[in-house]
A and B are shown apart, each in its own frame.
Chain A
Amino acid sequence: MDGADPIIRLRGVRNAFGPQVVHDELDLDIYPGEIVGIVGGSGTGKSVLLRTIAGLRRPQAGRIELFGQDALAASEAERTEIDRRMGVMFQDGALFSALTVRENVEVPLRAVTGLPARLRRELADLKISLSGLPYLAGDKYPSELSGGMRKRAGLARALALDPEIVFLDEPTAGLDPIGASAFDSLIRKLSGTMGLTVFLVTHDLDTLHATCDRIAVLAEKRVLVTGTMEDMLQVDHPWVREYFHGPRARAALATLERTG
């Protein structure tokens, strides 16, 4: 990925809610095909950053380039085009409760002109299966699914149009360790085969270890450092040190070393 142009490029982004400034002079580059994990303490605006890049929130200042295009200056049509190349998986799936899982996955596919209903249904079934859900889950309503299955269904919907970037908001929060590690390897596998760029907001150190190529730490209203897990261990910043050298981090590192 060296030398390639970044697929997401943030410069001087400022987000504020009234007098409370969340991000100031925030810069971040994400390159095609990499999985970047965003970590930070509560209230450092991880989800706000995700929403800003995904176009759900306009920053007060700064520049956002997606696919080399200025996303903030884009016309409505260009913005729709950009949105189509991105997928977002929200924390609890954010599935439409009135639709079955299959219909949920079909929603983005409806935007494709000339795609017959039969193919749309079969593609939705494929995405459901790729996300690791059993076939029969497609007929169920979101309220009938467990939290982990809802997340997978949310992922299936985010991947419906083969986006180039997916945003995952706390993909493993609330999952049991087995479900969480299955989700980790699913993300890895899909990113590998579909060439996805993944923007992953997480608190889960195991997920960071298992999936991320790079980690970006949000602190002091900006991206404090980026780098691999090994780089993080060298960083001399109180929060970063506590985060990556805490007892939980050591446990996660130890498991990783044991399993190779």
Chain B
Amino acid sequence: MADGQLQFDEREETGTRVLYLKGDLSVQTLARLEPILARQPAETVLRLDLSEIERLDTAGAWAIAQLEARMQNAGGRLDLEGADQPQRQLLETVAKALPQPPEDAPRRRSLTDRLDSLGRSTVAAGLFLAELAHVLGLFLSRLGRTIVQPRRLRLTALVAHCQDVGWRAIPIVALMAFLIGVVLAFQGSVQLRQFGAEVFVVDLIAISILRELGILLTAIIVAGRTASAFTAAIGSMKMREEIDAMQTLGIDPAEALFLPRILALLLMLPILGLVANVTGLFGGLVMSWIELGISPQMFFIRLIEGTSVNHAIVGMVKAPVFAIIIGVVGVHAGMKVQSNAESLGRMTSASVVTAIFAVIVADALFSIFFARYGI
């Protein structure tokens, strides 16, 4: 479809204005056709001769129909000549289909609209927290029921999720913690050397990894891996109405889906945190040895003498809380998926962001709490 040709000729014949159009009246020539038609005076009579038109498509028909409508509104008239049967039919169809924009233009956003949307988002935030509490409550009640009747536990599912959440995450968590240990040792040694206090790098590494970084970074990695996996798995089941089907078959989704997942996370995150602590200290040890010449024996002596076991306990106490946060957020986001694929993608990324954010907020609250009580 090369660029179409369009020629026109305007004449005055026996008192009426006549417009001859030749060539293509199509979407290709519309940009040239429209100004010609737009400058025709609307309140007179115009004869439009289409006998030399080679091609007329809906775009061309639209331009003519627009002109006709404009002239009719202004009291003029458009006479069409030389259009063949299919062309006339097309013109008629297009004229009938001319879009009628609704009269009332969209209102500007007023102050009440803004207040309204502020109120709505506040309520939505409150509802969101309430829904999270609902999922947490479901989990705890099913957990309680399972403790009373251990036979209800879906052991196969639990083990499978433990493998997914825990075992498969070990390589990435270990590598991450090792590198963090290396970085801490390196950065710490550069700073502490200025004071001739290189040996305290061990305290620096031990306290920061055991107390904060080991478990926090593990939780962040697990949030990225597992919250998204929970959301995607439960969300796609929700999307295909599998969860509704479970309910009609008398299977409790909370017991069959939520409990094994969150419980697996609850069991595995402390172990992953421990792995991170050990590999983090190992990374620090290696770097201290290379960079500062602190021998491994020296490192261990300093570690045991200088670092209270409280730091490790403070770190590990957070693990179950992080696990529940990640699990609840992931499961909740999965249950919010609607029946289209976009919402699955949206909720998956939202669950990761929310889980990481919530983990960091919880960690900050823990810090404040422990600082208050001097632990």
Instruction: Write the nearest CB–CB distance from A1 to chain B, whole angstroms.
Output: 15
Q: Please measure, in the bound complex, the distance between the C-alpha atom of A116 and the C-alpha atom of B98, giving whole angstroms.
A: 19
Q: Please measure, in the bound complex, the distance between the C-alpha atom of A128 and the C-alpha atom of B99, giving whole angstroms.
A: 8
Which A-chain residue is minimally distant from B106 (CB atoms)? A139
Instruction: Write the nearest CB–CB distance from B369 to chain A, whole angstroms.
Output: 43
Question: Which of A81, A85, A126, A136 contacts B58, CB < 8 Å?
Answer: A126
Q: Are A123 and B59 CB-contacts (below 8 A) given A112-B27, A128-B99?
A: yes
Q: Is the CB of A135 within 8 A of B100?
A: yes
Give the segment of A15-23, A191-199, A201-209, A217-225 that binds chain B: A191-199
In residues 95-119 of chain B, which contact A (Cβ within 8 Å)?
97-102
Across the A-B interface, how many residue pairs have beta carbons closer than 8 Å?
Answer: 66
Query: Could you mark each residue 173-213 of chain A with 1 if its beta carbon is under 8 Å from any beta carbon of chain B, else 0?
Result: 00000000000000001001111000000000000000000
Task: Kindly state whether residue B258 has any CB partner on chain A within 8 Å.
Answer: no
Q: Please measure, in the bound complex, the distance between the C-alpha atom of A85 and the C-alpha atom of B27, giving whole angstroms.
A: 12
Give the segment of B7-15, B28-36, B140-148, B311-319 that binds chain A: B28-36
Instruction: Write the nearest CB–CB distance from B357 to chain A, whole angstroms.
Output: 25
Give the segment of B86-94, B186-194, B207-215 that binds chain A: B86-94
Q: Is the CB of B93 within 8 A of A193?
A: yes
Q: Are A126 and B100 CB-contacts (below 8 A) given A119-B34, A194-B90?
A: no
Q: Is the CB of A115 within 8 A of B97?
A: no
In residues 104-127 of chain A, which contact B (Cβ within 8 Å)?
109, 112-116, 119, 122-123, 125-127
In residues 14-68 of chain B, which contact A (Cβ within 8 Å)?
26-28, 30-31, 34, 57-59, 62
In residues 57-85 of chain A, which contact B (Cβ within 8 Å)?
81, 84-85
Which B-chain residue is minimally distant from A161 (CB atoms)? B27
Task: Kindly state whether residue B1 has any CB partner on chain A within 8 Å.
Answer: yes
Instruction: Write the nearest CB–CB distance from A20 to chain B, whole angstroms.
Output: 26
Task: Kindly state whether residue B340 has any CB partner on chain A within 8 Å.
Answer: yes
Query: Could you mark each residue 131-146 of chain A with 1 if its beta carbon is under 8 Å from any beta carbon of chain B, else 0?
Result: 0000110000001000
Q: B98 — which chain A residues lie within 8 A by C-beta?
A: 126, 129
Q: B30 — which chain A residues lie within 8 A by C-beta?
A: 112, 115, 119, 123
Q: Is the CB of A194 within 8 A of B58?
A: yes
Q: B28 — which chain A residues lie within 8 A by C-beta?
A: 112
Which B-chain residue is minimally distant from A189 (CB atoms)? B93
Q: Please measure, in the bound complex, the distance between the C-alpha atom of A194 and the C-alpha atom of B93, giving whole angstroms.
A: 10
- Best-buried of A114, A116, A136 by chain B (most CB within 10 Å): A114
Instruction: Write the nearest CB–CB distance from A37 to chain B, whole angstroms.
Output: 23
Q: Is the CB of A135 within 8 A of B93?
A: no
Question: Which of B59, B89, B90, B97 contacts A129, CB < 8 Å?
Answer: B97
Q: Is the CB of A162 within 8 A of B101?
A: no
Question: Which of B59, B86, B102 contacts A193, CB < 8 Å?
Answer: B86
Question: Which of B27, B101, B342 contacts A135, CB < 8 Å?
Answer: B101
Instruction: Write the nearest CB–CB distance from B30 to chain A, whole angstroms.
Output: 6
Which B-chain residue is minimally distant from A138 (CB atoms)? B99
Q: Is the CB of A135 within 8 A of B99?
A: yes
Q: Are A195 and B86 CB-contacts (below 8 A) given A123-B27, A126-B62?
A: yes
Instruction: Write the nearest CB–CB distance from B96 to chain A, whole angstroms.
Output: 9
Q: Please measure, in the bound complex, the distance between the C-alpha atom of A126 and the C-alpha atom of B97, giving whole angstroms.
A: 7
Instruction: Write the nearest CB–CB distance from A125 to chain B, whole angstroms.
Output: 4
Task: Kindly state whether residue A234 has any CB partner on chain B within 8 Å.
Answer: no
Instruction: Write the nearest CB–CB distance from A3 to chain B, whole angstroms.
Output: 19
Q: A193 — which chain B residues lie within 8 A by C-beta?
A: 86, 89-90, 93
- Best-buried of A85, A109, A122 by chain B (most CB within 10 Å): A122
Q: B3 — which chain A residues lie within 8 A by C-beta?
A: 113
Q: Please measure, in the bound complex, the distance between the C-alpha atom of A161 and the C-alpha atom of B57, giving whole angstroms.
A: 9
Instruction: Write the nearest CB–CB distance from B56 to chain A, whole angstroms.
Output: 10
Query: Could you mark each residue 200-229 of chain B with 1 if its beta carbon is under 8 Å from any beta carbon of chain A, else 0?
Result: 000000000000000000000000000000
Instruction: Write the nearest CB–CB distance from A47 to chain B, whole angstroms.
Output: 19
Q: A42 — which chain B residues lie within 8 A by C-beta?
A: none
Question: Which of A125, A128, A162, A189 contacts B27, CB < 8 Å?
Answer: A162
Question: Which of A114, A135, A143, A195 contacts B31, CB < 8 Å?
Answer: A114
Q: B340 — which chain A residues lie within 8 A by C-beta?
A: 143
Q: A128 — which chain B residues lie within 8 A by C-beta?
A: 99
Q: Are A123 and B342 CB-contacts (below 8 A) given A112-B27, A112-B28?
A: no
Instruction: Write the nearest CB–CB distance from A243 to chain B, whole angstroms.
Output: 30
Which A-chain residue is minimally distant from B94 (CB atoms)? A126
Q: Is the CB of A162 within 8 A of B26?
A: yes
Q: A115 — which chain B residues lie within 8 A by C-beta?
A: 27, 30-31
Q: Is the CB of A85 within 8 A of B1?
A: yes
Instruction: Write the nearest CB–CB distance from A75 to chain B, whole angstroms.
Output: 15
15 contacts between A and B (CB under 8 A): A85-B1, A109-B27, A114-B31, A115-B30, A123-B30, A123-B62, A126-B62, A126-B94, A135-B101, A135-B102, A159-B58, A161-B27, A162-B26, A193-B86, A195-B86
Q: Point out residues on A near B: beta carbons under 8 Å.
A: 81, 84-85, 97, 109, 112-116, 119, 122-123, 125-130, 135-136, 143, 159, 161-162, 189, 192-195
**Shortest 3 CB-CB contacts between residues of A and residues of B:** A162-B57, A125-B99, A129-B99
